[in-house]
């Protein structure tokens, strides 16, 4: 396992292309040379290589776990009906998806993720945020901390996100206060984790075996990599999710999870070195779900 992770890291470090996201200054300042890889079987600690201690913002990786939490709370059938299942085929923040589906999009894209977050249980912003951070931290095995600089930039005046929320609200797709829903969404995206912690979170999802976890993993396969999800699944064979800060998470039900990090992302928001690392690990460890039974869990 360590040899496979080391080889994936070496392969990823040789890859060129991609650029650090400039959506927010806090992301734009990331070191483009950072690369980290982790494999986390259900039984045992994550095995890591590279800059595995370097924290980065979860960004859209958080969507997977928030969906699982919400689906567990309101039920998978209701989550499917109210939040959507089908891929939009559009960019992650395209408002057209909202109008096309009368407010129903997909929890893996930004409007659908905001609608999902609006359904978090609790009374008031502080209580709901405390519960969400507690649940995500429990999956990571350590308390996750908010990136204050990124939160200040993403949570201030943000016309792009505010326009999406207004459009969702117009279609009745937001549960509760739209302003509160947006703030919760921004906070979940600004939580920091290392590639080790992200892999541990994915392994917990892989091990859960609940209808809610299955639903979240299925949505990763359908739309986790946005408009490139079909190509990803065809090439790698593992449900995955990308994040604009450079994180990539792939979940293998019953086995565990793979994670990678590098800030250099492509036009779809996927880390270029991270994509290569996950593909390399999938091949070396025999984890492609489309070729037959995955490798047995390792103790």
Cα→Cα distances 40→6, 46, 146, 282, 297, Å: 14, 4, 24, 13, 10
Q: Is 290 exposed, middle or buried (0-12, 13-18, 19+ CB in 10 A)?
A: exposed
According to DSSP, residue 291 is labeled: G
Measured in Å, how far apart are the chain's first and last C-alpha atoms? 11
Taking Cα atoms as reference points, which of 42, 2, 48, 4 lies closest to residue 285? 4
Print pLDDT tens along the chain (299 aa): 999 999 999 999 999 999 999 999 999 999 999 999 999 999 889 999 999 999 999 999 999 999 999 999 999 999 999 999 999 988 888 889 999 999 999 999 999 999 999 999 999 999 999 999 999 999 999 999 999 999 999 988 789 999 999 999 999 999 999 999 999 999 999 999 999 999 999 999 999 999 999 999 999 999 999 999 999 999 999 999 999 999 999 999 999 999 999 999 999 999 999 999 999 999 999 999 998 755 554 43
Domains identified in the chain and CATH numbers: 2-59+193-289 (3.40.710.10), 62-189 (3.40.710.10)
186 contacts 146 by C-beta, under 8 angstroms = no
Q: What is the pTM of this model?
A: 0.95
Query: How does pLDDT run across 178-219, given as a tens digit for each residue?
Result: 999 999 999 999 999 999 999 999 999 999 999 999 999 999
137 contacts 144 by C-beta, under 8 angstroms = yes
247: part of which helix (H) or strand (E)? Answer: strand 247-252
pLDDT for 293 equals 55
Taking Cα atoms as reference points, which of 296, 220, 222 lies closest to residue 259? 220
CA 127 and chain centroid, separation: 23
Torsion of Cα atoms, 248 then 251 then 252 then 255, to 10°: 100
Residues 29 and 35: their CA atoms lie apart, in Å, by 15
pLDDT for 294 equals 54
According to DSSP, residue 289 is labeled: G
Q: Which residue is it, tokens 């204050």? A: 148
Alpha helices in 75-210 (DSSP H): 76-83, 96-100, 110-117, 125-140, 148-154, 159-170, 178-190, 195-208
pLDDT for 228 equals 94
285 contacts 38 by C-beta, under 8 angstroms = no
Q: Which residues pair with 56 in a beta bridge?
A: 193
């Amino acid at each position: 396992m360590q040899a496979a992770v080391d080889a994936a890291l070496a392969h990823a470090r040789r890859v060129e292309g991609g650029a650090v996201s400039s959506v927010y200054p806090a992301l734009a300042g990331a070191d483009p040379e950072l690369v980290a890889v982790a494999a986390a079987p259900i039984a045992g600690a994550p095995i890591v290589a590279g800059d595995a201690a370097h924290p980065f913002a979860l960004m859209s990786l958080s969507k997977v776990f928030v969906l699982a939490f919400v689906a567990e709370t309101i039920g998978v059938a209701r989550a499917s009906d109210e939040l959507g299942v089908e891929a939009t085929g559009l960019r992650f923040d395209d408002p057209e998806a909202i109008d096309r589906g009368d407010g129903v999009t997909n929890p893996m894209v930004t409007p659908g993720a905001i609608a999902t977050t609006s359904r978090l249980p609790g009374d008031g912003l502080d209580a709901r945020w405390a519960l969400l951070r507690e649940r995500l931290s429990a999956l990571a095995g350590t308390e996750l901390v908010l990136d204050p600089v990124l939160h200040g930039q993403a949570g201030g005046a943000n016309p792009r996100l505010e326009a999406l929320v207004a459009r969702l609200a117009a279609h009745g797709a937001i549960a509760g206060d739209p302003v509160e829903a947006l703030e919760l969404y921004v906070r979940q995206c600004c939580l920091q984790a290392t590639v080790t912690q992200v892999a541990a979170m994915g392994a917990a999802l892989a091990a859960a075996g609940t209808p809610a976890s299955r639903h979240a993993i299925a949505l990763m396969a359908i739309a986790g990599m946005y408009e490139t999800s079909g190509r990803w699944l065809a090439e790698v064979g593992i449900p995955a999710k990308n994040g604009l800060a450079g994180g990539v998470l792939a979940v293998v039900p019953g086995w565990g999870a793979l994670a990678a990090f590098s800030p250099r992302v492509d036009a779809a928001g996927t880390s270029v070195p991270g994509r290569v690392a996950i593909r390399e690990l999938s091949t070396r460890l025999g984890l492609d779900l489309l070729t037959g039974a995955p490798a047995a869990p390792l103790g």
